[in-house]
Amino acid sequence: MPVVVGTVLVLAFGRRDTLVGKLLSVRPLVAIGLISYSLYLWHQPVFAFARLRAIDEIPPAGYVVLIVLCIALATLSWRFVEQPFRQRAKVGRGAVFGATLAAGAVALVVGFGFDGTDGFASRNRELARMIEPSVGISKECDAVVNLKCATGSSPEIAVWGDSYARHLVDGIIASKPDVKLVQLTKNNCGPFFDLAPVVPRLGQQWPLACAKHNAEVKRFLLANKSIRYVVLSSQLSQYLIEDKVLVGGIREMPSELKTLTDNFRATLAWLEANGFETVFVAAPPRNGRDTGLCVARVRLLGDPIERCELPLRDVMTNDKDMLSVLADIADEYPVVSFRGYLCDEDSCKSRTRGSPCSKTMVTSRRRVRGRSAARSISTEPLSVRLRVMCFRSEGHRPWLLPSPTLQRLEWRLLAFFDRIERFAATAELTNENAPDQTMPERFILLDFACR
């Protein structure tokens, strides 16, 4: 609309005797007017390829260089393409019509080809696999709460949460193809019984739909007695960056850390009171950038993967509120964080051992007869060295158990998969390279190396 209004004003007041007319008669503006169509055609591909190559945001100085490049290309195309085609003595109407028709036909064929082959994805199958969206059991399973989205009629594991929970489903199934699992996920809707984010772009009715979905999950869990474990996951940020949340499916309230934490605790308490073993899998480290897109781009361009590493300072700033919530919850309930594995004192990896971080092993723990037990849901062969780090909140100092008691532990892998396996692992307690000195005593970070 502003462009239309501006055009009307120029046409109405752009006479030679007006200030606008005199300004538009200045030679540089006249020159830009001459090449304006070519400039319009060139700016889109130049800017698009620059954004692809830059990965991060292009700085203002970069845009200045791109504008100069577009002007140069537009000048050349105006001089050697536009001008000759406007000279009827050299290029007749029939030639122009034939060239236009041929070029249009080629463009249509190429366009349909790209659209039908998803950009000729087969030319780089690994890259195509990396950017393929994760749908869990099926792309039809978003906001579905029934056994249609289960691997069997008697599931033992329920995976509940938003898209971050859905991503775990692929890893669990890849680790154990015959796992008895049900997917209870809904995009943007975290695993909380009485809390839904109010996201304006999703519409006025969406918060009610989220609350209804989680109410159905509650009824489903009670009705299916075979379910023993509930794996929860969410990015959590949608409950904090939006202005409001829907509480109890009835009233809207301002978004606050306390509201999220209290509802989080209430949900976990209800699950455990009804006999479910729970574990919350935290989102991987983030700094506000689309890390998956960055990894795909560097692979496409052949750039070093280090370009996608996340500065730890940026991660701590971006994830500050999420870490605060998890630190509070981890006082009583099992929480799994990837930071101890992916991050060092300076940065966080975007890939590990050649695999995207979104597909690394997830390991959780729970209390069994006074001991911690590890359960794995792994996409790689299980040969793991565990380093367990516990932290107290008082004084921000590491809390170390007596080392003789932890020098040699036999971890009992209590299957999400309904069987017990044994393997030997060495558990080390250390305060070196502690990723966060502010975690409470029972927040356990599992740092591991896969072979």
At 188, the pLDDT band (50, 70, 90 cuts) reads very high
pLDDT for position 354: 52
Distance CA 72, CA 348 (A): 41
- Of 191, 147, 152, 145, nearest in space to 168 by CA: 191
pLDDT for position 90: 67
Q: At 200, which amino acid appears?
A: P
pLDDT for position 42: 94
Is the pLDDT score of 210 beyond 90?
yes
Instruction: Give the mean model confidence (pLDDT) for residues 49-74.
Output: 89
- Which tops the pLDDT comparison, 172 or 211? 211
DSSP state of 82: I
Q: At 190, which amino acid appears?
A: G
pLDDT for position 208: 95
Residue-wise pLDDT tens digits, 109-140: 888 877 776 666 566 666 666 667 778 999 89
Terminal-residue alpha carbon distance, the chain: 59
Q: Angle formed by the axes of helices 257-273 and 320-329, to 10°?
A: 40
CB 227 within 8 A of CB 159: no
- Of 413, 310, 300, 290, nearest in space to 352 by CA: 310
Q: Which residue has the tokens 């772009």?
A: 201
Instruction: Give the mean model confidence (pLDDT) for residues 328-343.
Output: 87
- Of 31, 30, 79, nearest in space to 87 by CA: 79
Is the pLDDT score of 316 beyond 70?
yes
Instruction: Give the mean model confidence (pLDDT) for residues 354-358.
Output: 52
Q: At 88, which amino acid appears?
A: R
Query: Pairing state of beta strands 195-197 and 244-247?
Result: antiparallel
CB 269 within 8 A of CB 252: no
Distance CA 329, CA 278 (A): 12
Please state the pTM of the whole predicted model: 0.66
Which range of 129-138, 361-370, 400-409 scores highest in mean pLDDT? It is 129-138
The answer for 151, left when phi > 0, alpha when psi is -120 to 50, beta otherwise, is alpha
Is the pLDDT score of 388 beyond 70?
no
pLDDT for position 18: 80
pLDDT for position 23: 80
Distance CA 33, CA 41 (A): 14
CB 403 within 8 A of CB 393: no
Is the pLDDT score of 272 beyond 70?
yes
pLDDT for position 8: 83
Mean pLDDT, all residues of the chain: 75
- Give percent of the chain with pLDDT exceeding 90: 41
pLDDT for position 293: 78
Look at residue 244 and give its three-state secondary structure: strand
Lowest mean pLDDT among 113-117, 192-196, 228-232, 432-436: 432-436
Look at residue 3 and give its three-state secondary structure: helix
> Torsion over CA of 98, 99, 104 and 105, rounded to 10 degrees?
60
- Which tops the pLDDT comparison, 60 or 25? 60
CB 283 within 8 A of CB 164: yes
At 142, the pLDDT band (50, 70, 90 cuts) reads very high
At 357, the pLDDT band (50, 70, 90 cuts) reads low
- Which tops the pLDDT comparison, 237 or 390? 237
pLDDT for position 220: 97
At 183, the pLDDT band (50, 70, 90 cuts) reads very high
- Of 438, 334, 436, 433, nearest in space to 394 by CA: 438
Distance CA 320, CA 358 (A): 21
